[in-house]
């Protein structure tokens, strides 16, 4: 199954789950969670406060070597938006991709997503735990603060 087929399938609309595709085109779903949704919204608000010249995107789909992954929040520069618009899924990752950890996420799954977003061109990948604490990563590994938004809080 392709991402466009998922988007076009009426039976997959309005599900209470986040949907991604694995590398075989199989649908992977995880249940929605209100704390998770709150964290996603906070990222959008904080992106607007701490970053200029770009757009915040919730549920940002990115085509990776292991299927379509959906960053919980992302920030894309104006140059990125000018080049890719709002294509779905993006063929490359926006500059910042954020994963909000759910109880169902394993450490291995999060590590895999970090690798996948970097392999598709992300500058930074941020991981937010259930308590709102943020880990910032660049291609060298974990960093103490974002290079793109150095005053971004470490807890939301």
pLDDT tens for each residue of the chain, 156 residues long: 777 777 677 877 776 666 666 777 766 656 667 787 888 899 999 999 999 999 999 999 999 999 899 999 999 999 999 999 998 999 999 999 999 998 778 899 899 999 999 999 999 999 999 899 999 999 999 999 999 999 999 999
Q: What is the dihedral of CA 51, 120, 14, 24, to 10 degrees?
A: -170
Residue with tokens 């609309």: 13
CATH homologous superfamily of 32-143 equals: tt1808, chain A (3.90.1570.10)
Query: Tokens at residue 123, please?
Result: 């500058």
Could you write out the DSSP letters of every residue in 130-143? Answer: TTSBEEEEETTEEE
What is the reported pLDDT for 22? Answer: 72
Name the nearest CA neighbour of 117 among 132, 98, 133. Answer: 98
Domain edges within the chain = 32-143
pLDDT computed for residue 30 by the predictor = 66
Give the C-alpha separation, 136 to 11, whole Å: 37
Q: For residue 29, what pLDDT is reported?
A: 59
What local confidence, expressed as pLDDT, does residue 26 receive?
67
Are 52 and 79 within 8 A, CB to CB?
no
10 CB neighbour count, 10 Å cutoff: 6
pTM of the model: 0.84
Q: Which residues contact 118 (CB under 8 A, 6 or more apart)?
A: 93, 125, 139
Return contacts of 14-17, CB within 8 angstroms, 24+ apart: none
Give the pLDDT score at 25. Answer: 72
Which residues, in sequence order, are bridge partners of residue 99?
127
Helices vs strands, H then E, count in the chain: 4, 8
């Amino acid at each position: 199954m392709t991402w466009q087929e998922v988007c076009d399938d009426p039976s997959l609309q309005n599900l209470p789950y986040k949907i991604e595709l694995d590398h075989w085109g199989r649908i992977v779903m995880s249940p929605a969670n209100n704390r998770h949704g709150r964290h996603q919204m906070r990222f959008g608000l904080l992106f607007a406060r701490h970053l200029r010249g770009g757009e915040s995107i919730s549920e940002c789909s990115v085509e990776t070597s292991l299927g379509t992954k959906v960053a919980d929040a992302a920030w894309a520069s104006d140059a990125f938006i000018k080049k890719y618009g709002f294509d779905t899924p993006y063929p490359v990752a926006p500059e910042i991709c954020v994963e909000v950890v759910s109880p169902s996420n394993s450490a291995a799954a999060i590590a895999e997503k970090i690798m996948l977003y970097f392999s598709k061109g992300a500058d930074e990948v941020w991981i937010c735990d259930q308590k709102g604490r943020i880990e910032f990563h660049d291609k060298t590994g974990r960093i103490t603060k974002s290079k793109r938004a150095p005053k971004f809080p470490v807890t939301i």
